[in-house]
Amino acid sequence: MTVIRAGVFDLDGTLIDSSCVHLQSWRGALRILGLEFRDQEVIDRLGLRTVDIARQVLTRYGEPTIGKLVELKTQLYENAWRLDVKPRYGALEMLQIMKTRGVRSAQSDFKDEPDYRLRSLYELKQIIWPEMDR
pLDDT digits (tens, 9 = 90+) for 2-33: 777 878 777 777 778 888 899 999 999 999 99
Q: What is the pLDDT of residues 38-50, one digit of tens each?
A: 999 999 998 888 9
Same domain, 48 and 63: yes
Which domain does 36 fall in, by range?
19-84
Please report the pLDDT score of residue 114 as a whole number: 44
pTM: 0.68
- Asked if residues 103 and 7 have their Cβ atoms less than 8 Å apart, the reply is yes
Residue 131's pLDDT band (cuts 50, 70, 90)? very low
Taking every pair of Cα atoms in the chain, the longest distance, rounded to a whole number of angstroms, is 59
Between 60 and 109, the higher pLDDT residue: 60
Same domain, 67 and 110: no
Please report the pLDDT score of residue 69 as a whole number: 95
Between 129 and 88, the higher pLDDT residue: 88
Structural domain total, the chain: 2
Q: Is residue 118 part of a domain?
A: yes
Checking if the pLDDT of 120 tops 60, the result is: no
Over residues 55-71, the mean pLDDT reads 91
Residues 6+ apart with CB under 8 A from 2: none
Q: Is residue 1 part of a domain?
A: no
Please report the pLDDT score of residue 118 as a whole number: 39
Q: Is residue 92 part of a domain?
A: yes
Residues 6+ apart with CB under 8 A from 32: 72
Please report the pLDDT score of residue 109 as a whole number: 62
Q: What is the pLDDT of residues 67-81, one digit of tens each?
A: 999 999 999 998 888
Give the helix ranges, DSSP H, for 37-111.
Answer: 39-43, 50-57, 63-84, 91-100
Per-residue exposure over 54-89, b if at least 16 CB sit within 10 Å of its own CB, e if not: bbebbeeeeeeebeebbebbeebbeebeeeebeeee
